[in-house]
Each structure stands twice: as C-alpha cells, then as structure tokens.
Amino acid sequence: MIVLLLGAPGCGKGSQAKKIEAAFGYLHTSTGDMLREAIRKGTELGKRAKSAMESGQLVADEIVVSLIEERIEALEGRSGLILDGFPRNVAQADELNKMLAKHTLKLDKVFYFEVPQEKIKARLLARRVCSVCQKDFNMLTNPPKNSKCDACSGEVITRADDNEETITNRLEVYEKSTQPLLDYYEKSGSLARLDGDKEIEVVFQQISLYLTGEK
Ligand code: AMP
C-alpha cells in the first residue's frame, strides 16, 4: 500500500503519518525529517540542502528524489509506504510515478488535509518537536505534560524553520509549487479530502476507514 499525505506545512501530515505507521506498519518517509537528519550529521547532502531549508525554499528535486528512491528500495517486507512531504511539485510527482512503475508499485491513496489558511500559521508558530525522538507537540492543542518530551524525556525544541519569516516563504512555496498537485491527483481519482481542522484522533479514524477498505 503506497499512501501519500498532501497539505500545507502544519496541516498534520507528520502526526498522522506516525499514527499510520504505528497502526498499519507502513514505512514512514518524511523528506523533511531525512533532510534535517542529514544536516545534523553534516553529510554532503545535508550541506547542499541547508540554505534552502533555512529560507523555506524547496531543496533541489534530485536530492529528494534520491532519498525516496532509497526508501522504495528498502521497502522489502513492509506492508506499505507513507510519503510525508514528497512530492512537493509536479516534477517530483512525475518522478515518483516513474520510480513506482520501476518497482511495479502504484500509488494507492492520496490524503489531502484541508486546514483553513488562518489556522496554519498559528499551528506552525505553536509547533514544538522532541529533539531526540521527533515526537510532535503543539503548545496550544497538545503541549508536553512537563517541559520534556512525554515519550522519551528528550528536549522539546522549536524547529529552525518555524519562525514568522520562514513560515511566510514556506506558505508561498506551498501555494505556488505544491498546491497544483491537488488537481494532478484529483484527476487520477486517488485523492481523498479530509478535514484537517479536526482532532488528531478524528482525522486518523477517517484515514483508517480508507486504509481498511471500509470507505
Ligand atoms: P517539512 O518537514 O516537510 O515541513 O520540510 C521542511 C523543509 O524541507 C521544506 O521547507 C523544504 O525546504 C525541505 N523539503 C522537504 N521535503 C521536500 C521536497 N519533497 N522537495 C523539496 N524540499 C523539501
């Protein structure tokens, strides 16, 4: 099962991807997480991605395509793959089609999370993440119980790109480059629109209905 999560930064893709991985065993693949890890480790790839990420622009297609290619090759024995944050533009979507076809796989479902524009910015400004296990928190709706991560007691931090200026750039990039994917996938008939403004559990129940074939 190949599942793609689509929506603006802060729409809840990452939280839902983690829940899908835990419940269904699909391999969670977040290009953003992979790039942040590459930067932390100081790899060549991380060095190439750093400035684009810091300014809220997209990193080069060839970098993220190579990351996804590796994950598809590592899929053996897994029940599925969750793509979180890839593709981000039509060129990447075309590359994804080619990679899947090469491995005789197909995209089964695209979930699009609709969240009102005015809520997105507030969500991103309130977002925090565990620096160790990457668990997501939101200081308004889902804060850590004490100042440390609930899951692993790691330090809870604000992501470097969750600041006003970078958020503005990321939302512009989303509108210009990623939003056209809605049409792209609507035409393919695989798109399911979800109300991403609902509670995490409610959104996940909707997703589960699709993944179990009940919807
Ligand atoms: P995310 O964690 O998905 O919000 O991604 C954080 C940042 O990583 C983005 O603002 C981009 O700079 C970069 N990034 C993540 N995924 C992609 C992608 N598919 N294509 C290009 N850049 C990406």
**pLDDT digits 0-9 by tens, 41-53:** 999 999 999 999 9
Task: Report pLDDT digits (tens) over 106-116.
Answer: 999 999 999 99
pLDDT in tens, 164-205: 999 999 999 999 999 999 999 999 989 999 999 999 999 999
Average pLDDT, the chain: 96
Choosing from 19, 88, 128, 135, the catalytic residue is 88
* Closest to 159 (Cα-Cα) out of 37, 41, 63: 37
- Per-residue pLDDT at 94: 98
pLDDT one-digit tens code per residue, 120-158: 999 999 999 999 998 999 998 889 999 999 999 999 999
**Would you call 127 a catalytic residue per the annotation?**
yes
| Ligand 1 pocket residues where CB is under 6 Å | 9, 31-32, 35, 52-53, 56-59, 64, 85-88, 92, 161, 170
- How much distance in Å is there from the Cα of 14 to the middle of ligand 1? 12
What is the share, in percent, of the chain residues with pLDDT greater than 70? Answer: 100
The position carrying tokens 């309130």 is 126
SS3 annotation, the chain: CEEEEECCCCCCHHHHHHHHHHHHCCEEEEHHHHHHHHHHHCCHHHHHHHHHHHHCCCCCHHHHHHHHHHHHHCCCCCCCEEEECCCCCHHHHHHHHHHHHHCCCCCCEEEEEECCHHHHHHHHHHEEEECCCCCEEECCCECCCCCECCCCCCEEECCCCCCHHHHHHHHHHHHHHHCCHHHHHHHHCCEEEEECCCCHHHHHHHHHHHHCCCC
Atom index in ligand 1 nearest the CA of residue 85 equals 3
Catalytic residue among 18, 19, 71, 127: 127
CA of 109 from ligand 1 middle (Å) equals 21
The pLDDT, as a whole number, for residue 69 is: 97
Ligand 1 pocket test, pick from 5, 11, 48, 53 with the greatest ligand atom count within 8 Å of Cβ, gives 53
